[in-house]
Amino acid sequence: MYGVIKMLLHSFSEASILTDDLVEQLKRILCNAVEQRGHAYLVVSGGKTPIDLFKALAKAELPWDKITITLTDERCVPAHDLDRNERLVRHFLLQHHAAKAHFLSLYNESDSLEQTEHMIASLPTFDAVVLGMGEDGHIASLFPCADELSMGLDDNAAAVLRISPKTAPHQRISLSKKRLLDSRVIFLHLLGQKKLTVLHQAMAEHDSMVMPVSAFLNNVDANVQVLYAP
Ligand X SMILES: O=C(O)[C@H](O)[C@@H](O)[C@H](O)[C@H](O)COP(=O)(O)O
Q: Kindly state the smallest distance separating residue 73's Cβ from ligand X, in Å.
A: 5
* Cβ atoms < 10 Å from Cβ of 17: 11
User: Looking at 13-21, 132-140, 153-161, 199-207, which segment touches ligand X (CB under 6 A)?
Assistant: 132-140
176 binds ligand X (CB under 6 A): no
HSE, CB side, 13 Å, CA atoms: give it for residue 7.
Answer: 21
49 binds ligand X (CB under 6 A): yes
Q: Kindly state the smallest distance separating residue 72's Cβ from ligand X, in Å.
A: 5
User: Looking at 7-15, 32-40, 100-108, 128-136, which segment touches ligand X (CB under 6 A)?
Assistant: 128-136
**Cα dist from 217 to 72, 107, 179, 196, 226, whole Å:** 17, 28, 16, 13, 9
Binding residue for ligand X (CB under 6 A) from 140, 163, 198, 199? 140
Contacts of residue 216, Cβ cutoff 8 Å, sequence gap at least 6? 7, 131, 139, 177, 180, 181, 186, 188, 222, 224
- In the region spanning residues 61 to 80, those forming contacts with ligand X, defined by CB under 6 A, are 72-73
Positions in the binding site for ligand X (CB under 6 A): 45-49, 72-73, 85, 132-134, 138-140
